[in-house]
Structure 1
Amino acid sequence: MSAFVHMLRCADGSYYVGSARGESLDRRLAEHQAGTHAGYTYHRRPVTLVYAEWFDRIVDAVAAERRIKGWSRAKKEALIAEDWDRVQFLAKRPAARARSSNPTTSS
């Protein structure tokens, strides 16, 4: 059974990152929208799917979820925008970022 990691933009502008098993993201998104589970998104609805990635194994989706949850807001937004140069730049330590040029979004 496949699994996925997903990121939602909440009504308050925050991001929620989660993972789940399944073949389709539709059911999980419907649960978030309906407030089925009293969790982070319950009082932050409606939510919008901004990123999803599928995996063959749930352990890989959970690992990606944990990794992304630790990212800064800027790095999450670079991932959403598929700005891989910026994701890579933001992955550097602050001192290394200061020494290199800051990549900009599309010119």
Structure 2
Amino acid sequence: MKGLHFFVYIVTNPTKTVLYTGVTNDLADRIQQHYQNRGNKTTFTGRYHCYNLLYYETFSGIEQAISREKEIKGWTRAKKEC
């Protein structure tokens, strides 16, 4: 899959009280989905209105992206905010 990239990203809500870390292959579309789902109680990002992009990294392989996502999810909140 030449040219395909994967993204690990962190989004937050407008009051910056909640953080969400995820993986996608289309960052712009995924952020739009999070925004459209705001208020949807059936999803974490919808429930907490997480759609403001704080940070992202790009990877050429899904395995590396998932590994990095797991690493970031293990961080403290303070480290994620730096």
Deviation at 1:15, TM superposition (A): 0.4
Q: Which runs of 5+ in 2 are unaligned?
A: none
- Report the 3-state secondary structure (helix = DSSP H, G, I; strand = E; otherwise coil) of the residue aligned with 1:42: helix
Amino acid at match of 1:34: Q
Find the counterpart in structure 1 of residue 48 from structure 2: 44
Deviation at 1:20, TM superposition (A): 1.2
CA distance in 2, matches of 1:4, 1:29: 11
| 8 Å contact from structure 1 (residues 10, 16) kept in 2 | no
Is the counterpart of residue 18 in structure 1 residue 19 in structure 2? no
Question: Which portions of structure 1, spanning 4 or more consecutive aligned residues, are displaced by more than 4 angstroms?
Answer: none
Is the counterpart of residue 9 in structure 1 residue 37 in structure 2? no
CA RMSD between the two structures: 1.8
Find the counterpart in structure 2 of residue 58 from structure 1: 62
Deviation at 1:46, TM superposition (A): 5.1
CA distance in 1, matches of 2:61, 2:52: 24
Over alpha carbons, which structure has the higher Rg?
A: 1
CA deviations on 1:11-56 (whole Å, 9 max, x unpaired) are: 451100000123xx11000000111883211111152100011100
Give the strand-richer structure, 1 or 2.
2
Deviation at 1:10, TM superposition (A): 1.9
Give the structure-1-normalised TM-score: 0.64
Find the counterpart in structure 2 of residue 73 from structure 1: 77
Percentage of pairs with the same residue? 32
Number of positions where the alignment pairs a residue of Structure 1 with one of Structure 2: 76
